[in-house]
């Protein structure tokens, strides 16, 4: 037990400030900035023959799952296996969106740059989570 109450607070803050959490915060930051910039200029339009009612979908319907999965993953900082699974789901979601839009538009857009950067940051976050798991396993072997 700790003699000071602040030590417990410092432990919780320290766990949130791991490098993979910073990568995921950066993903949220990129997507929110993209949403703000996009609201002032244009709306991303999907082709009409996809399974949508009017053929167009606003970008926030793409960004909401990305931001929510990333936020949930950040809050599971103590459960690394769940965090890995959520990040893999997010990577799969990003890849599906890239493949659908590249297949239908056959041109690169700033949307694709954002999605590719999200994938790269999620892969880096997964590598950080795996390194943390390996570090904890090695510390448990010493005990």
Q: pLDDT band for 120, please (50, 70, 90 cuts).
A: very high
Mean pLDDT of 57-86: 85
pLDDT in tens, 3-16: 455 444 444 444 55
In angstroms, the CA 106 to CA 109 distance is: 10
Of 35, 28, 98, the residue nearest 70 (C-alpha): 28
Q: Quick one: average pLDDT of 63-78?
A: 89
- The answer to whether residue 107 scores a pLDDT higher than 80 is no
How much is the pLDDT for 122? 92
pLDDT confidence of residue 49: 35
Q: What angle do CA 93, 99, 105 make, to 5 degrees?
A: 130
Q: How confident is the model at residue 51 (pLDDT cuts 50, 70, 90)?
A: very low
Q: Report yes or no: 119 and 91 within 8 Å, Cβ to Cβ.
A: yes
What separation in angstroms does the CA of 85 have from each of 8, 75, 94? 28, 13, 14
pLDDT tens string 76-106: 888 889 999 999 999 999 888 888 777 666 6
* CB of 14 closer than 8 Å to CB of 63: no
Structure tokens belonging to residue 54? 């009017």
């Amino acid at each position: 037990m700790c003699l000071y109450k602040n030590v417990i607070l410092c432990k919780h803050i320290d766990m949130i400030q791991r490098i993979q959490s910073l990568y995921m915060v950066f993903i949220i930051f990129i997507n929110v900035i993209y949403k703000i910039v996009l609201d002032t200029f244009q709306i991303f339009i999907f082709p009409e023959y996809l399974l949508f009612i009017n053929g167009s979908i606003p970008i926030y319907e793409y960004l909401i799952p990305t931001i929510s999965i990333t936020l949930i993953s950040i809050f599971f900082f103590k459960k690394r296996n769940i965090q890995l699974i959520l990040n893999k789901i997010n990577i799969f979601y990003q890849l599906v969106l890239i493949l659908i839009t590249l297949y239908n538009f056959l041109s690169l857009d700033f949307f694709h740059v954002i999605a590719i950067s999200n994938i790269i940051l999620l892969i880096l976050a997964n590598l950080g989570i795996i390194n943390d798991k390996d570090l904890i396993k090695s510390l448990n072997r010493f005990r």
